[in-house]
Amino acid sequence: ASSSQRTKMEVGSVYCGGNARMVEACFGFGGEEAMYVGDHIYSDTNVAKSILQWRTCLVMRELEGEVRALALSQTRRRELGELLVRRDKLLAAKGLSLVRAARKKIGM
């Protein structure tokens, strides 16, 4: 029998092709008793969840780099915030110095 015609799971066998209903028939359960793990949010997990009512798990390798970048950007944003506060203090001090110098110049 070809892999798509199997009606029971056999240890050591490879299954290719087939469909979700075949998997449910081979295992003898489906719906919320089944979990599908996929890496494509629509064609894998959304269809398995919305049509078959399977539990789903989405593998998102693409986000690893984004999570690292977010962590780095949060650190950099904090450092930038600290630098901006320091700049504002320096500008305020410089502005106050300029006001004092101008007042002194005009005799106030």
Residue with tokens 């986000």: 63
Residue 7 is predicted with a pLDDT of 58
10 CB-contact burial (10 Å; exposed 0-12 / middle 13-18 / buried 19+) = exposed
For the chain, 108 residues long, give each residue's pLDDT as a single digit of tens.
444 555 566 777 777 777 888 888 888 888 889 888 887 777 777 778 888 888 888 887 777 788 888 888 998 999 999 998 998 888 888 887 777 777 788 877
